[in-house]
Amino acid sequence: MSLLDVRDLSVVFQRRGERPFTAVDKVSFTVEPGQTVGLVGESGCGKSVTSLAIMGLLPKRGNKVTGEVLFEGTDLLRLRPDDLRDRRGREISMIFQDPLSSLNPVIPIGIQVAEVLERHQGRDRKQALRESRDLLDAVGIPDPQRRLSEYPHQISGGMRQRALIAIALACKPRLLIADEPTTALDVTIQAQILTLLKQLVDETGTALVMITHDLGVVAGLCDTVNVLYGGKVVERAPRHELFAHARHPYTHGLLNSVPRLDSPRGERLHAIRGSVADNIPWAEGCAFAPRCDNVVDACLEGPPPLEPTAGGGDLRCNNPVSEEVAVR
Amino acid sequence: MLRVIVRRLLQLVVTLMALSALIFIWLRNLPGGPVEALLGERATPERRALLTKALGYDQPILVQYGKFMQRVLTGDFGNSIRTGDPVTEVISRAFPATIELALAAMIIAVGLGVPLGYLAARWRGRALDNLTIAGTLLGISIPIFFLGYLLKDVFTQNIHWFPPSGRLTTGLDNTNVTGFFVLDGLLTREFDASADALWHLILPAVTLATIPLAVIVRITRASVLDVLNEDYVRTAEAKGLRHRTIRGRHILRNALLPVVTTIGLQTGALLSGAVLTEKVYNWGGLGTLITDSISGGRDYPVLQAIILLAALVFVVVNLLVDLSYAFIDPRVRVR
Amino acid sequence: MSDPTTQAGTPAPRSGDDKPRPGMSERSIGLLGDRKKARLDELAQASASDRGGISLVRDAARRLRRNPVAIVGATIVALFVLMAIFAPLIAPHDPVQRFDELTKNLTVDTIPGSSSEFPFGSDPLGRDFLSRMIYGARQTLFVGVLATLIGLALGVLIGAIAGAFGGWVDVVLMRLTDVMLALPSLLLAITLVALASRSSQWTVIFAVAIVSVPIFARLLRGSMLAQRESDHVLAARALGVKERNIVLRHMLPNSLTAVIVQATLTFAVAILDAAALSFLGLGDPDINRAEWGLMLGVDGQRYFEVRPELAYYPALAIIVVALGFTLLGEAMREAIDPKNRR
């Protein structure tokens, strides 16, 4: 049994007086224990909404979530809110993009770590704070004893994200969802945080869902990668397979748009044309069709199905790319 | 920290000085001036001259102000023109009554306003929210003295739940310790007097609470709505914290910061409203004193002192609010 | 009855940690009502923050038209103004004429009620109450508008001078407004009227106006200061436009949006404060004048036991009109708030 088995997850936003918007469209993927899985795509592709839906953190009103999110066989979407609350932070944790705004500005760091332990492990304040100090130490925060009583604005951005990681891993969850954990950080800090995450999930055997738009992050971390476009998975492949043989024109475009040091001088960067705003609804064809170089007639005659590929992945494309992309 | 406090206190003194000078000068340069106000327009020039001299108004304005300040610093605001009693005595008799009323109103406004504002925000767009917003709009649009009469009419004439006016039932004897009748009753173990005072306090306090209540509800609601959208609330949810913890530690703790400020600012509304409320319920406080000082011949020494006192209260309360920020908001502390 | 409307808005969005709290930061070591000032400055900046000139106004107008709150507010205001203008046409009688058929029935504890000739009955002097209510719109509008305009004019003058010159002029003028803000608004108005030896309609208007001066001044100054550093003002200066022209042609017009919104809200406070002054016996002594605040504050109070309608009708009229202006003002403020732009 997979640790996490997401089946046909859809999220439709419906605001009064506005047309419903399908942010996530029958997304399915699995995460095995200890595995690291990437959800990759541009902003607006539905990757963050997917993660919030899994966690049950979408607003109570204005959206409709369908499908199944099986966590060790239990459908989280059908769990009573209190039961889900018991699991959040204990069995499944999440870290967010902006470490500053994700921490409560008027509560000391120590309490913000300790309260998870108090809630889920039944520790008293004193014991929880002692363990919090060790946790801060484990995520590489210097002088952890002092940090316990400091406030988020008093420590650096990198340290804040480390603190959030400490919070997320405090109860040794089986699954950690990281939503763009390095985007808001300095480039030099990004690598440190990724290394730390990798090291921690390896040590604890925690499975990791890595949500990112940055293929560099995926390359260094993920076992399997799901590429999302317009709310649907368009390509899924093991990491090496993806980087070696990206089949979907969108994935291909993403890989080609990364500047590389070893590319010949004068070679132009391949940007993907247009923007997500150009998408057509999946019901009418492939959402990526207006931006696609490989577009064929079939692309405008209904959504292409997601089909298994020879490389052990899945692909949703009528006219995939055949040329090889060199492994980075 | 200490330096900030000292600086703020100095500025407070400067403000009050400026205010006193403005009022002082204004008072003595008005058409007619206090003498005419006291004697009426048809007084003989001799009588005017006599009174002008008696009040010291024939001296240069700076000399007058200097003398005035000298006396003020020794706690002497002169004597009431109306009754002849020392102004400080007149005021200290009325001051506790107004503070008792204002405090009771503030307790009602905060105690009711914060939960209502929070609930309205949590149920945004629902019936409770719309009802609350409508109520606050009505609250700030209704002349509160009219509301006072309305409440008085309903609760003292139609259904006799509350006494119509005063601070105590006549004939009931209470021992005066602090001037806060409810507290006095408790201190002297005259519990019947305390209960009676509380019974008298409720309607005026509710009336006076209207505007601060409306404002606090709106600020709380807006502030909670802001905080609900904050990432750290999402983080708290992601931690699986109990609803209680999220509400208290993560939402209200942050959302109440602007509310604390509002409480300070509402001191002004309370003092203004007290003048009206006290007249409706015949509550013997500063408001009544102001009304009496105006209608019974303009009692300038008393008026002047009350105005300065009101400004002092407002400025001090807001200073305390600002200083309290240092303790409730860590981001202020470092600055 | 201070100015609840200025305080009742949404508080500052508190984003990040780098935004100084107004309370203790270096700049606003001011004395009093720091938050009140901060809020005003903030509103001012909101209106100055991005300026697309006409398109901005049009944009706000479009949002207003779609907002039911604005429509209700505007309708109330429009009906009120129409009633004020056409009072002589609508009113069945002369508002100051005493009618024999009414006066003969006046006693200590009876005031004639509704009849077919006089639908609202009589006032305590045997005049037609309905006509006085209708004419009351006129006087109320007059008092409210004048008080607001005087307050606005003085406030704008002080604020514009402070904002345009900066430096010590700014410091002195702003300290002056601080002193005024330190007094509870109604108390300030009471003081002003009480200190005048005789009250008249003009002392009321003036007192109510003065109360709003510091609010307007702060608002305008904040907005102008925000603009001093803005690109289009810098550009104008770089092009050699005279300082006077920059202030008059560029800075002032852009700052006026927030001021106009505040004026709408001030109107509601003005008629409420005018009523409060009448109630305290500091109002207009002219018994012929039909003004709602006066009617409520004097006759309404005095004859509440005898004929409560004398209080109910003017009170209702004041509430509805104050509500109308508040709704319109709040909706306008929401419309120009960049946070709500879509």
Between the alpha carbon of residue C106 and those of residues C122, C173, C285, C305, the distances in Å are 9, 54, 22, 15
Mean pLDDT of C163-170: 81
Judge whether B168 and B184 are in contact, CB under 8 Å: no
Chain B residues with CB under 8 Å of C175 CB are 15, 18
Instruction: Please name the member of B231, B240, B243 whose beta carbon is closest to the beta carbon of A89.
Output: B240
| Closest residue in chain A to residue C16, using alpha carbons only | A101
Please report where in the chains the tokens 């100090």 appear, as a residue.
A133
Q: Is residue C223 part of a domain?
A: yes
Distance (Å) from the C-alpha of residue B245 to the closest C-alpha of chain A?
A: 9
Orientation angle between helical segments C201-228 and C129-165, nearest 10 degrees: 30
Put simply, the chain A residues between 229 and 288 with a CB less than 8 A from any chain B CB are none
Mean pLDDT of C181-200: 78
pLDDT reading at B217 higher than 70: yes
The A21-31 sheet, strands edge to edge:
A21-31, A4-13, A63-71, A74-75
Q: What is the pLDDT of residue A235?
A: 92
Nearest Cα residue to C177 out of B86, B15, B199: B15
Question: Which residue range(s) make up the domain with C77?
Answer: 68-340
Residue C84 CB partners (closer than 8 Å, separation 6+): C137, C138, C140, C141, C142
- Dump pLDDT digits (tens) for C208-229: 898 889 888 888 888 877 777 7
| Closest residue in chain B to residue C6, using alpha carbons only | B215
pLDDT reading at C312 higher than 60: yes
CATH of A4-222, one of 3.40.640.10, 3.40.50.300, 3.40.47.10, 1.10.10.10: 3.40.50.300
Q: How far is CA C37 from the centre of its chain?
A: 18
Between the alpha carbon of residue C247 and those of residues A5, B196, B226, C164, C236, the distances in Å are 65, 62, 35, 6, 10
| Closest residue in chain C to residue B289, using alpha carbons only | C280
Strands A92-95 and A63-71: unpaired
Sign of the torsion formed by the C-alpha atoms of A65, A68, A71 and A75? positive
**Are the beta carbons of A106 and B254 separated by less than 8 Å?**
yes
Q: What is the pLDDT of residue A273?
A: 76
Chain C residues with CB under 8 Å of B258 CB are 11-12, 14, 35
Chain B residues with CB under 8 Å of A85 CB are 240-243
A: neighbours with 3+ CB pairs under 8 Å?
Answer: B, C
What are the backbone dihedrals phi and psi of residue C241, each rounded to the nearest 5 degrees, phi first? -70, 140
Chain C residues with CB under 8 Å of A105 CB are 14, 17
Tokens matching residue B256: 């109440």
Beta strands in chain B (DSSP E): none
pLDDT reading at C31 higher than 60: no
Tokens matching residue B313: 């209260």
Residue B63 CB partners (closer than 8 Å, separation 6+): none
Judge whether B52 and B35 are in contact, CB under 8 Å: yes
Range with lowest mean pLDDT among A21-30, A318-327, B53-62, C112-121: A318-327
Tokens matching residue C72: 């209700």
What are the backbone dihedrals phi and psi of residue B19, each rounded to the nearest 5 degrees, phi first? -60, -45
Q: Is residue C63 part of a domain?
A: no
The larger pLDDT score, comparing residue A136 to residue B187, is at A136
A104 interfaces chain B, CB cutoff of 8 Å:
yes
Same domain, C44 and C143: no
Same domain, C40 and C82: no
How many beta carbons lie within 10 A of that of residue B247, not counting itself? 18
| Closest residue in chain C to residue B335, using alpha carbons only | C25
> Rounded to an integer, what distance in angstroms lies between the CA atom of residue A45 and that of residue A38?
14
Q: What is the mean pLDDT of chain C?
A: 76
Mean pLDDT of C172-190: 82
Distance (Å) from the C-alpha of residue B60 to the closest C-alpha of chain C?
A: 20
Chain C residues with CB under 8 Å of A100 CB are 16-17
Mean pLDDT of B152-175: 78
Distance (Å) from the C-alpha of residue C293 to the closest C-alpha of chain A?
A: 42
Most confident of B60-64, C13-17, C195-199: B60-64
Q: Which ranges of chain A does DSSP label H, i.e. alpha helix? A: 47-55, 81-87, 109-121, 125-138, 144-147, 157-169, 187-204, 215-221, 239-244, 249-256
Orientation angle between helical segments B286-295 and B253-281, nearest 10 degrees: 40
The larger pLDDT score, comparing residue A134 to residue B81, is at A134
pLDDT grade for A40, boundaries at 50, 70 and 90: very high
Same domain, C233 and C270: yes
What are the backbone dihedrals phi and psi of residue C333, each rounded to the nearest 5 degrees, phi first? -65, -40
pLDDT grade for B269, boundaries at 50, 70 and 90: confident
Distance (Å) from the C-alpha of residue C18 to the closest C-alpha of chain A?
A: 8
**Are the beta carbons of B294 and C281 separated by less than 8 Å?**
yes
- Using DSSP's 3-state secondary structure scheme, residue A308 falls into strand
For residue C145, which amino acid is it?
A: V
A74 forms beta bridges with A71
Instruction: Please name the member of B235, B243, B257 whose beta carbon is closest to the beta carbon of A96.
Output: B235
Q: How many residues does chain B have?
A: 335
Distance (Å) from the C-alpha of residue A101 to the closest C-alpha of chain C?
A: 6
Same domain, C19 and C91: no
Domains detected in chain B: 2-73 (no CATH), 92-334 (1.10.3720.10)
Range with lowest mean pLDDT among A27-36, A39-48, B66-75: B66-75
Distance (Å) from the C-alpha of residue C193 to the closest C-alpha of chain A?
A: 46
HSE-up of residue B178 (Cα within 13 Å, Cβ side): 13
Judge whether C228 and C163 are in contact, CB under 8 Å: yes
Q: Is residue C280 part of a domain?
A: yes
Stretch (H or E) spanning B12: helix B2-29
Q: What is the mean pLDDT of chain B?
A: 84
A55 interfaces chain B, CB cutoff of 8 Å:
yes
Chain A residues with CB under 8 Å of B238 CB are 55, 57, 88-89, 93-94, 96, 168
Put simply, the chain B residues between 148 and 177 with a CB less than 8 A from any chain C CB are 149, 153
Nearest Cα residue to A303 out of A242, A230, A246, A252: A230
A211 forms beta bridges with A39, A179
Strands A4-13 and A63-71: antiparallel
For chain B, the first-to-last Cα distance in angstroms comes to 9
Interface test with chain C among B38, B265, B307, by most C beta carbons within 10 Å: B265
Nearest Cα residue to B250 out of C20, A105, A170: A105
> Rounded to an integer, what distance in angstroms lies between the CA atom of residue A113 and that of residue A95?
13
The larger pLDDT score, comparing residue A206 to residue C255, is at A206
Interface test with chain A among B232, B241, B245, B254, by most A beta carbons within 10 Å: B232
Nearest Cα residue to B210 out of B161, B285, B276: B276
> Rounded to an integer, what distance in angstroms lies between the CA atom of residue B230 and that of residue B223?
11
B288 interfaces chain C, CB cutoff of 8 Å:
no
Put simply, the chain A residues between 110 and 129 with a CB less than 8 A from any chain B CB are 115-116, 119-120
Same domain, C182 and C245: yes
C13 interfaces chain A, CB cutoff of 8 Å:
no
DSSP characters over C130-169: HHHHHHHHHHHHHHHHHHHHHHHHHHHHHHHHHHHH-HHH
Q: What is the pLDDT of residue C339?
A: 58
DSSP A207: E
| Closest residue in chain C to residue A98, using alpha carbons only | C16
The CATH number assigned to the domain holding C213 equals 1.10.3720.10
For residue B79, which amino acid is it?
A: N
Q: Is residue C36 part of a domain?
A: yes
Q: Is residue C291 part of a domain?
A: yes
Same domain, C235 and C291: yes
A229 forms beta bridges with A232
What is the number of CB-based contacts under 8 A between chain A and chain B?
82
For residue C5, which amino acid is it?
A: T
Nearest Cα residue to C142 out of C84, C193, C206, C78: C84
How many beta carbons lie within 10 A of that of residue A179, not counting itself? 23
Q: What is the pLDDT of residue B333?
A: 60
**Are the beta carbons of C279 and B325 separated by less than 8 Å?**
no
Q: What angle do CA B134, B135, B141 make, to 5 degrees?
A: 90
Query: B135 burial class (0-12, 13-18, 19+ CB within 10 angstroms)?
Result: middle
Same domain, C20 and C117: no
Judge whether A172 and A183 are in contact, CB under 8 Å: no
pLDDT grade for B108, boundaries at 50, 70 and 90: very high
Residue A131 CB partners (closer than 8 Å, separation 6+): A114, A117, A123, A170
Query: What percent of chain C shows pLDDT beyond 90?
Result: 13
Where are the CATH 3.40.50.300 domain residues in chain A?
Answer: 4-222
| Closest residue in chain B to residue C310, using alpha carbons only | B146
Mean pLDDT of B5-11: 81
Same domain, C109 and C229: yes
Chain C residues with CB under 8 Å of B332 CB are 21, 23-24
Q: Is residue C56 part of a domain?
A: no
- Dump pLDDT digits (tens) for C133-157: 999 898 889 999 999 999 999 998 9
| Closest residue in chain C to residue A99, using alpha carbons only | C16
Judge whether A283 and A303 are in contact, CB under 8 Å: yes
**Are the beta carbons of B238 and A116 separated by less than 8 Å?**
no
- Dump pLDDT digits (tens) for C269-301: 898 998 888 888 888 888 788 888 888 888 877
Tokens matching residue A80: 């009573």
User: B-side interface with A, Cβ within 8 Å?
Assistant: 230-232, 234-243, 245, 249-250, 253-254, 257, 328-331, 334
Q: How many domains does chain C have?
A: 2
Q: What is the pLDDT of residue A165?
A: 93
Same domain, C38 and C170: no
Same domain, C11 and C159: no
Instruction: Please name the member of A84, A104, A120 whose beta carbon is closest to the beta carbon of B250.
Output: A104
**Are the beta carbons of C281 and B291 separated by less than 8 Å?**
yes
Same domain, C5 and C142: no
For residue B195, which amino acid is it?
A: A
B: neighbours with 3+ CB pairs under 8 Å?
Answer: A, C
Nearest Cα residue to C69 out of C286, C338, C324: C324
Residue A60 CB partners (closer than 8 Å, separation 6+): none
DSSP3 helix / strand / coil % (chain A, rounded to 5): 35, 20, 45
Most confident of A66-70, A253-257, B271-275, B310-314: A66-70
Nearest Cα residue to A285 out of A313, A319, A236, A311: A319
pLDDT grade for B142, boundaries at 50, 70 and 90: very high
Q: How many residues does chain A have?
A: 328
Q: Is residue C61 part of a domain?
A: no
Q: What is the pLDDT of residue A175?
A: 94
A103 interfaces chain B, CB cutoff of 8 Å:
yes
Q: What is the pLDDT of residue B131?
A: 93
For residue A105, which amino acid is it?
A: P
Residue A200 CB partners (closer than 8 Å, separation 6+): A138, A139, A165, A169, A206
Judge whether A25 and A188 are in contact, CB under 8 Å: no
Interface test with chain B among A58, A104, A150, by most B beta carbons within 10 Å: A104
pLDDT grade for C342, boundaries at 50, 70 and 90: very low
pLDDT grade for C37, boundaries at 50, 70 and 90: low
Q: What is the pLDDT of residue C175?
A: 81
Q: Is residue C55 part of a domain?
A: no
Chain A residues with CB under 8 Å of C18 CB are 153
Same domain, C196 and C133: yes
Judge whether A224 and A230 are in contact, CB under 8 Å: no
pLDDT grade for B215, boundaries at 50, 70 and 90: very high
